[in-house]
Amino acid sequence: MDLWLKEMQLEDAGIAMTYKVKETLVRKKTQFQDLAIVDTEVFGRMLVLDGIVQTTIKDEFVYHEMISHIPLFTHPNPKKVLVVGGGDGGAIREILRHPSVEKAVLCEIDGDVVEECKKYLPEISCALDDPRCEVFIGDGIKYVKEHKNEFDVIIVDSTDPFSIAEGLFGGNFYKDIYESLTEDGIFIAQTETPFYLPETVKKVFSDAKAIFPVTKMFMAAIPTYPGGYWSFTVGSKKYDPSQVDITKIPEMDTKYYTPEIHKACFVLPKYVQDVISE
């Protein structure tokens, strides 16, 4: 008998993806959500929260490299980094590849995500036990409010803007992030699909732009995310990520990110430009 995971990718959008499953490794109701890790034929082991694919062994490198290296190679000397969400640990893994980073804090609301990813997704979560990493299980919104002028880079590695993640998108949270950053700090967030959720993308970009002196959007191709083409928004107090001198970016063993990609990803298709234009 064939077993298939059917992911309804967007609410009421009439879009679904199906994945052939070899084995269900874990399935549980946590305090906050339905958590599953399954082993699939094509994408390998896969983290699924509330029926939505979060990351897979096969394509996770795209998301984690881009959400981490764009801000960390933009800031000239990032020492302290906060990741809000990201309980799988992939962003932490990439952050700690930067020798200037002295401390990386992972603030994840659901401790079960961290524990199950350590068990079943070690390729992604492998840096969570690094001595430079501090794992804090709790509310990211509250954490950011309570830590002012502390972080050089803040990465919002959240699920989609529904349910427990809804408060991680929008002006009030971005104001708190601004205050939590140092005087030349940078923030980045995954900001959904401009093809299927243009109004969401437009709102989060507009909210960030109202707060940060430099606000830029870039795109990356992620096969398991709706539409396969995903947006990220960068808010910076000082440095323009699209104007980095790529000749000064040191060589790093990556699978998606390159200095050339750093420059090129900020060149947006016309329909994306139209989405975020006033």
pLDDT category of residue 82 using cuts at 50, 70 and 90: very high
Which residues does residue 106 pair with via DSSP β-bridges, in sequence order?
A: 83, 135
Per the structure block, which two tokens stand in for 212?
């940060």
Structure tokens belonging to residue 28: 């549980």
- Residue 165 has a pLDDT of 43
Domains 3-56 and 60-276 alike in fold: no
CA 28 from chain center: how many Å? 23
- Looking from the CA of 246 toward its CB, the CA atoms found within 13 Å total 14
pLDDT at 137: 98
Q: Please report where in the chains the tokens 């062994």 appear, as a residue.
A: 57
Domain locations along the chain: 3-56, 60-276
Query: What per-residue string of b and e applies to 22-59 under the rule 16 or more CB within 10 Å gives b?
Result: eeebeeeeeebbebbbbebeebbbbbbbbebbbbbbeb
Q: How far is CA 75 from the centre of its chain?
A: 18
Give tens-digit pLDDT for 40-49.
Answer: 999 999 999 9
Binding residues for spermidine are 64, 88, 157-160
Mean of the per-residue pLDDT values for the chain?
Answer: 93
Please answer whether residues 157 and 125 qualify as being in contact, where contact means their C-beta atoms are separated by less than 8 angstroms. no
Contacts of 149 (CB under 8 A, 6+ apart): 179, 180, 181, 182, 183
Distance, in Å, from the CA atom of 171 to the CA atom of 210, rounded to the nearest integer, reads 8
68-72, 121-125, 223-227, 274-278: range with lowest mean pLDDT: 274-278
What residues are annotated to the active site?
Answer: 157
- What would the mean pLDDT of 203-226 be, rounded to a whole number? 96
pLDDT score of 27: 97
Q: Could you tell me which residues are annotated as the binding site for S-methyl-5'-thioadenosine?
A: 33, 108, 139-140
Largest interatomic CA distance in the chain: 58
Positions at the binding site? 33, 64, 88, 108, 139-140, 157-160
Question: To the nearest whole percent, how much of the chain has pLDDT over 90?
Answer: 88
Query: What pLDDT is attached to residue 164?
Result: 44
Distance CA 179, CA 239 (A): 17
Specify the pairing of strand 181-190 against strand 214-221.
unpaired
Secondary structure element (H or E) that encloses residue 9, with its range: none
- Annotation: CATH topology of 60-276: Rossmann fold (3.40.50)
Report the pLDDT averaged over residues 239-251.
97
- Note the pLDDT of residue 172: 85
Query: Would you call 260 exposed, middle or buried from its count of C-beta atoms within 10 A (0-12, 13-18, 19+)?
Result: exposed
Torsion angle in degrees (nearest 10) through CA of 264, 266, 267, 268: 140
Which pTM was predicted?
Answer: 0.94
Fold for the domain defined by 3-56: Spermidine Synthase; Chain: A, domain 2 (2.30.140)
Sorting pLDDT into bands at 50, 70 and 90, what band is 8? confident
Q: Tell me what pLDDT residue 278 has.
A: 62
**Residue 242 reports pLDDT greater than 70:** yes
Mean of pLDDT values over 207-229: 96
Instruction: Please tell me the distance from the alpha carbon of residue 252 to that of residue 181, in angstroms, as a whole number.
Output: 26
pLDDT greater than 60 at residue 160: no
Chain segment 164-185, per-residue pLDDT in tens: 444 555 668 999 999 999 999 9
